[in-house]
C-alpha cells in the first residue's frame, strides 16, 4: 500500500463527536505523540486522522528506515529515484463532492484566519520544468476556493511563468497520502526535480498515479482526497494569520488562490489533519533539512549524524556529530552546517560518541568540551529564519556555532571512566 492506511494501527480512536473548529485540534495537541482517529466530526460523515507520524521513529519507519539509517536511506533514494507509473482509474476518484464544505477541514488556533488544509501536497506542471509537488497551507475562503501561501520557491516560479503567459496555473491538491510522498514533497530538491521520483526511491517501487478529470495533471491514486483546480493569474486575497512551526502567528499577506474545478475522494475517505507546530509538522519540515546539512558538512568532515533538535521546533538548532580528524574540523563543520540549512541559528558540533538525538548528551558535550572564547563562532547580521520571532527586520539574526569536540591532542583527559566487568 502506498496510502496512509497502513499507519492507522494503534491509533487512539475518539468515538465522541467533536467539532472541526478547535475541538479536534485540542485533542491532537494533548495527544501530540499519538496517532488519533476521530470517527465523528460534527456535521460530517468523513472521519479525520491526525498525528500520523508524530515521532522521528514513526516517520523513519514509514520511510522504510530507522533513526540511524535515515540519512543514508534518503541519500540512496536520491541516487536511485524511481519513475512514477500512471495507471487507469484510482480509488481517489470514486466519489465526487459538491464543495469544500463536504470536507471536515479543521480550524486549529484561536487567531487563525480560517479553516486550513495543512496536509495537502500541491501538484503542478510546467512545460520546461516538468512536474512539481510541494506542501502549502490552504485557507478555505469559499465553497470552492482556497487561498494558498506560496513562499517564493518552485510553485511560485511555476505560477509566475503561467502568469507571464496570461494563463491560470493548473494544480491538483492531494490530501491523505503516504508519509513518504508528503516527505518527498517537503524535500528541498532543486527546481525541475520531480518529487514523485524521490517518493518512489523511498518506497522502493513506483508511486502509482492517476490522471485528473479537469486538469492536465496526475495525482497519487491512493490519495484519500483530490482537489483539482486553477490558480488565476494576478488575483490576490488576504491569507493568514496562521500558526506556523514555532507555534507563533505568521502575518496576513496577499496571496493567490485556487479555484476548485473538481473535488473527489475515496468512497470511505479519511481526511488527514496535520496540526501546525505539532511534532509531526516539525519533523516533516525539519528532517529533510537534516539531509542538506549532512551533504554540506560531509564535504569538510566525516559526519556521523545530524539532528535538528525538538526544542528548537526541529528548525532553528542543529546538532552534528563528526569523526574528528584534524583540529579545524569542528569549526569547518559549523560553517558548512549553517550553509546547509540557511534558517538554522545555532549549531553545535560534537564528537561521534555523543548521541545527537539526546539533549542531555548534547548538554554534556557543551558542559565538558566547550570553551566560549576558543570554541564559539559568532556571526552577526546573517539572514536567518522569518519564523524566529526574535530575528530582526528581514529575518536578520546572529548565528552561533559551538565546537564542542574534544581537542585531538588531549584524548586522555577526556576519557570517560569505565567500571571493569570482572574483578581485578
Ligand atoms: Mn520542487
Give CA separation, 374 vs 331, 336, 348, 365, in Å: 11, 19, 14, 15
Query: What is the reported pTM?
Result: 0.94
- Report pLDDT for 4: 85
Give the distance (Å) from ligand 1 centre to CA of residue 191. Answer: 5
Q: Output the average pLDDT for the chain.
A: 96
Predicted confidence (pLDDT) at residue 66 exceeds the cutoff of 90: yes
For ligand 1, the distance from its centroid to the CA atom of residue 189, given in whole angstroms, is: 6
List, for residues 114-140, the tens digit of each pLDDT value: 999 999 999 999 999 999 999 999 999
pLDDT per residue over 216-268, tens digit each? Answer: 999 999 999 999 999 999 999 999 999 999 999 999 999 999 999 999 999 99
CB 374 within 8 A of CB 410: no
> What does the block give as the cell for 423?
574483578
pLDDT digits (tens, 9 = 90+) for 88-112: 999 999 999 999 999 999 999 999 9
Query: Quick check: 294 pLDDT over 90?
Result: yes
CA distances to 333, 351, 366, 409 from 325, rounded to whole Å, are 12, 10, 19, 11
What is the structure's pLDDT at 291?
97
Q: How close is the Cα of 131 to the center of ligand 1, in Å?
A: 8
* Mean pLDDT value across residues 306-327: 97
Q: Give ∠ CA 134-86-176 in degrees, rounded to 5.
A: 45
Summarised one tens digit per residue, pLDDT across range 160-204 is 999 999 999 999 999 999 999 999 999 999 999 999 999 999 999
pLDDT over 70 (residue 3): no
Predicted confidence at residue 2, as pLDDT, reads: 53
- Mean pLDDT of the 395-401 span: 97
Query: Given this model, what pLDDT does residue 123 score?
Result: 98
The confidence score (pLDDT) of residue 411 equals 86
CA of 55 to the centre of ligand 1 (A): 25
| Residue 179 CA to ligand 1 centre (angstroms) | 17
Cα 135 to ligand 1 centre (Å)? 10
Write out the catalytic residue numbers.
244
Mean pLDDT along residues 327-353: 98
Distance 48 CA to ligand 1 centre (A): 28
Question: Ligand 1 centre and the CA of 186: distance in Å?
Answer: 9
Percent of the chain's residues with pLDDT above 70: 99
Long-range contacts of 149-154 (CB under 8 A, 24+ apart): 149/239, 149/240, 149/242, 149/253, 149/255, 150/255, 150/256, 153/191, 154/129, 154/191
Amino acid at each position: 500500500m502506498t496510502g496512509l492506511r497502513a499507519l492507522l494501527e494503534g491509533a487512539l480512536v475518539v468515538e465522541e463527536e467533536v467539532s472541526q473548529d478547535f475541538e479536534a485540534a485540542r485533542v491532537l495537541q494533548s495527544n501530540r505523540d499519538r496517532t488519533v482517529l476521530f470517527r465523528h466530526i460534527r456535521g460530517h460523515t468523513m472521519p479525520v486522522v491526525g498525528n500520523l507520524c508524530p515521532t522521528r521513529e514513526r516517520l523513519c519507519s514509514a520511510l522504510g528506515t530507522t533513526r540511524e539509517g535515515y540519512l543514508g536511506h534518503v541519500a540512496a533514494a536520491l541516487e536511485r529515484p524511481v519513475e512514477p507509473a500512471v495507471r487507469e482509474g484510482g480509488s481517489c476518484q470514486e466519489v465526487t463532492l459538491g464543495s469544500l464544505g463536504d470536507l471536515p477541514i479543521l480550524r486549529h488556533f484561536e487567531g487563525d484566519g480560517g479553516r486550513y488544509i495543512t496536509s495537502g501536497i500541491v501538484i503542478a506542471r510546467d512545460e520546461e520544468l516538468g512536474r512539481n509537488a510541494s506542501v502549502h497551507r490552504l485557507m478555505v475562503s469559499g465553497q470552492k476556493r482556497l487561498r494558498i501561501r506560496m513562499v517564493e520557491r518552485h510553485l511560485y516560479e511555476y505560477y509566475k511563468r503561467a502568469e507571464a503567459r496570461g494563463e491560470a496555473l493548473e494544480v491538483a491538491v492531494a490530501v491523505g497520502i503516504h508519509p513518504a510522498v508528503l516527505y518527498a514533497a517537503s524535500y528541498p530538491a532543486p527546481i525541475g526535480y520531480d518529487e514523485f521520483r524521490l517518493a518512489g526511491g523511498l518506497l522502493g517501487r513506483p508511486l502509482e498515479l492517476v490522471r485528473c478529470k479537469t486538469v492536465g495533471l496526475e495525482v497519487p491514486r491512493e490519495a484519500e482526497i483530490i482537489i483539482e483546480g486553477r490558480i488565476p493569474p494576478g488575483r490576490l486575497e488576504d491569507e493568514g494569520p496562521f500558526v506556523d512551526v514555532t507555534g507563533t502567528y505568521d502575518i496576513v499577506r496577499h496571496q493567490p488562490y485556487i479555484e476548485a474545478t473538481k473535488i473527489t475522494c475515496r468512497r470511505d475517505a479519511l481526511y488527514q489533519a496535520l496540526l501546525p507546530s505539532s511534532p509531526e509538522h516539525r519533523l516533516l519540515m525539519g528532517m529533510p533539512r537534516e539531509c542538506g546539512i549532512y551533504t554540506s558538512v560531509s564535504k569538510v568532515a566525516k559526519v556521523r549524524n545530524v539532528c535538528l533538535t525538538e526544542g528548537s521546533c526541529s528548525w532553528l538548532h542543529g546538532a552534528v556529530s563528526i569523526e574528528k580528524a584534524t583540529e579545524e574540523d569542528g569549526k569547518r563543520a559549523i560553517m558548512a552546517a549553517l550553509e546547509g540549512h540557511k534558517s538554522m541559528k545555532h549549531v553545535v558540533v560534537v564528537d561521534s560518541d555523543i548521541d545527537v538525538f539526546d539533549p542531555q548528551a548534547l548538554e554534556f558535550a557543551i558542559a565538558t568540551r566547550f570553551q566560549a572564547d576558543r570554541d564559539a563562532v559568532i556571526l552577526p547580521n546573517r539572514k536567518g529564519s522569518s519564523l524566529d520571532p526574535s530575528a530582526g527586520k528581514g529575518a536578520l539574526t546572529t548565528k552561533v556555532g559551538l565546537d564542542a569536540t574534544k581537542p585531538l591532542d588531549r584524548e586522555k583527559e577526556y576519557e570517560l571512566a569505565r567500571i571493569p566487568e570482572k574483578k581485578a
